[in-house]
Chains A and B, each alone.
Chain A
Amino acid sequence: MTGSMRKIKEFIVEKLILICGAASIFFVVLIFLFLLKEGLALFNIESPLKFLFGKSWYPISEPPKLGIFPLILGSLMVTAGAAIISIPIGVGCAIYIAEIAPAKTKEVLKAGIELLAAIPSVVLGFIGMVTLVPLVKTVFHLPTGLTALSGSIMLAFMAMPTIVSIAEDALYSVPKTYKEGALALGATHWQTIWRVMLPAASSGILAAVMLGIGRVIGETMAVMMITGNAAVIPQSILVPVRTLTATIAAEMGEAVVGSEHYFALFAIGIVLFIISFAINATADLFLHKRQ
Chain B
Amino acid sequence: MRNPHRTQKIAFFLLFMATLLIVVPVGLIVVIIIQKGLPAINWQFLTDIPRQGMRAGGIFPAILGTIYLVTGAIIFALPIGLFAAIYLSEYSKDNILNRLIRLAIVNLAGVPSVVYGLFGLAIFVIFFKFGASILSGSLTLGIMILPIIITSSREALESVPQSFREVSLSLGASKWQTIRHIVLPNAIPGILTGTILGLGRAAGETAPILFTVAAFYLPQLPKSIFDQAMALPYHLYVISTQVPNVDEKIRYGTAFVLLALVLFMNLVAIIIRYKFRKKKKW
Contact = CB atoms under 8 A, between A and B. Distances in A.
A45 interface: no
B2 to A, nearest CB: 11
Interface in A243-291: 245, 248-249, 252-253, 257, 265-266, 269, 272-273, 276-277, 279-281, 283-284
Contacts of B143: 27, 31
B11 A119 contact: no
Interface in B100-125: 100-119, 121-123
Main secondary structure on B side of the interface with A: helix
Contacts of A131: 32
Contact of B91 (A18, A97, A164): A18
Given A188-B5, A219-B112, A126 B240 contact: yes
Interface in B1-55: 4-5, 7-8, 11-12, 14-19, 21-23, 25-27, 29-30, 32-33
Contacts of B176: 10, 13-14
A10 B179 CA distance: 11
Interface in B220-259: 233-234, 236-237, 240-241, 251, 255, 258-259
Interface stretch (B161-169, B183-191, B205-213): B205-213
B92 interface: yes
B138 interface: no
A135 interface: no
B159 interface: no
A110 B121 CA distance: 37
A115 B119 contact: no
A266 to B, nearest CB: 6
Contact of A218 (B11, B113, B147): B113
B129 to A, nearest CB: 12
Residue in B12, B19, B203 with the greatest tally of chain A CB atoms within 10 Å: B19
A123 B258 contact: yes
A218 B115 contact: yes
A25 interface: yes
B88 interface: yes
A257 B131 CA distance: 12
A118 interface: yes
B207 A249 contact: yes
Contacts of A265: 118
Interface string B118-157: 1101110011000000000000000100110010000000
B118 A281 contact: no
B207 A88 contact: no
B200 interface: yes
B204 interface: yes
Contacts of B255: 123, 126-127
A217 interface: yes
A284 B15 contact: no
A90 B127 CA distance: 42
A188 B211 CA distance: 56
A190 B8 contact: yes
Contact of A281 (B7, B106, B112, B146): B106
Contacts of A217: 112
Interface stretch (A34-42, A174-182, A230-238): A34-42
Contact of A24 (B5, B147, B233): B147
A122 interface: yes
Interface in A29-66: 30-31, 34-35, 37-38
A197 interface: no
27 contacts: A20-B83, A20-B87, A24-B108, A24-B147, A25-B100, A27-B104, A35-B115, A88-B18, A90-B18, A96-B16, A115-B26, A120-B203, A120-B259, A122-B233, A122-B258, A125-B237, A126-B240, A126-B251, A188-B8, A215-B110, A220-B112, A221-B237, A249-B207, A249-B210, A269-B119, A279-B110, A280-B106
Interface of B: 4-5, 7-8, 11-12, 14-19, 21-23, 25-27, 29-30, 32-33, 79-84, 86-88, 90-92, 97, 100-119, 121-123, 126-127, 143, 146-147, 150, 174-176, 200, 203-207, 210-211, 233-234, 236-237, 240-241, 251, 255, 258-259, 262-263, 266, 270
